[in-house]
Structure 1
């Protein structure tokens, strides 16, 4: 995207870096897609104010990716290209290159240091995460569409559970995956479906266990590269007054957190206040309050007590309080939110009341 390229150029200027080098190789860097709208299998992207943005990739992909990308300066990656890159660096007197260290292997880093001998290579990983945290209008539109699709998949799932068509954790997992694939998309991470005492394990892998008691379903859709992430908790069997109260406690905590979020507010402040709202059950809340989402399932901002991050307009993130009582139960409710210029917008909406399915 041209807008995103311009954002990177401003960042490079601010940090006095001559060239931003984005590499997609063994480790798939989501930032490559962020700037180019395509992900060639093995490619180099050079971004600078000194010359037009250019991408080097294999001859097999060059023409096809050029048609799909907003960047039109594609060149074949071969031995001649390496000489051209060296000439480019020399011609424009490049002294400092910014690189996403998070997506470069040790061996690749060594080769790059050899290729750019005498040039300082600095880490851009945190800067790129900060850059991607503020979503563009196009990204926000994609998220609104993705959120609707995610809600639709969940509506079909809970309906199938109510009709007793899905009776085990694994059946729920497979149903959701099939619904997502039916629409031509993929899941954004391995699904979590946890029933009964298994729900007390936040990152549980579904098995053939029958649905009973509190059931936690955590899933998301990778929609045109962007990840949604929601968690729904429902109850199978006869719920007690206490169990309904626990669900309400978690749901109220999520809603309370949303009232605290304003531009410039520290994520740690919101996290601490929300934890306190759980009262004596705070000790059973064993993970962060939420996280940013985007091209990766975990992005900025981090909603943790020790985080230094702040909320800014354009950020899209989850709020996901939970309580986990070992060998007894687990409850987690997670929705996706957008911080707009005029306030917080809830992109997905968990049920206000606990859904109870009698069997």
Structure 2
């Protein structure tokens, strides 16, 4: 019986890397916005929650019918009698009240193990709610019931219409046992929370002013910015405007950062901004920084794909020019990798005397400090 659970669990672990990749970007953005940095314990707990939810849904959904055009279930597909599983366990067991020796037979009953599985299934969910999210017990009961209801709706709808007919029964007893498992996990979390680091105090000793802006954070800001300025350049190109890409780049990376004290939309989302290394940020620092990056490194690659510009060079010059651009790209890539490993600034940061820093509202810092116990202040 237990081997039947290994099949969906194995699929959950195999699909976890893909789910984690899809989860990582929104996870990082939320963590940067909410906490200002990534805490390893917080990340571990949330990825464990993702892995648990994958296992839970796979255990509920798998195995699938052999065809999407599956036949209807024999009998009713809905069971609405509460606690019917208790009667089924008693009827299918050789349990006798006046014979204690028969009590152990209940542990060999498949119906008992099915009910026990439904309880155990949501125990981790209740533990996550109690330990990480620190919900109240009423909220835990409600969310555990909602999770169980999503399981049952997924089954009764044939995975929301993917299959012609339901392939498992909607059972009200599953709602009861799953909710019971959630509140049991919640109580367990309260018991063991004293042995684990307190989630609400993970940031108590974090000093964001001393934390380095990682290349991962900068890369996310770069991608978010690219989505914005590429979209703007595409829209502007629909109008009879010369050099729409360069106009957008100039406005986005020269004018906007001067107005926002070194922030672009992408940097604002992940809570970082450009600052002068040894003095206040000046317009010439911003201009030099982004001209070197987008006008030099990025601009060379744009020009080599511009057929009109390439044709003006002639075949004798265009070939070597593309080779020079390729060599420059390779050198920049090597420079980027070395800088990432050595945690050093890139060349355009050194020349422009700028750096990225974490931005965190002063009011937020005061609020975080005020919530700490006196022993941690």
Both structures adopt the same fold (TM-score exceeding 0.5): no
- The structure whose Rg is larger is 2
- The structure with more helix, counted as a fraction of residues: 2
Q: Taking CA–CA contacts closer than 8 Å with sequence separation of 6 or more, which of the two structures ends up with the larger relative contact order?
A: 2
- The structure with more strand, counted as a fraction of residues: 1
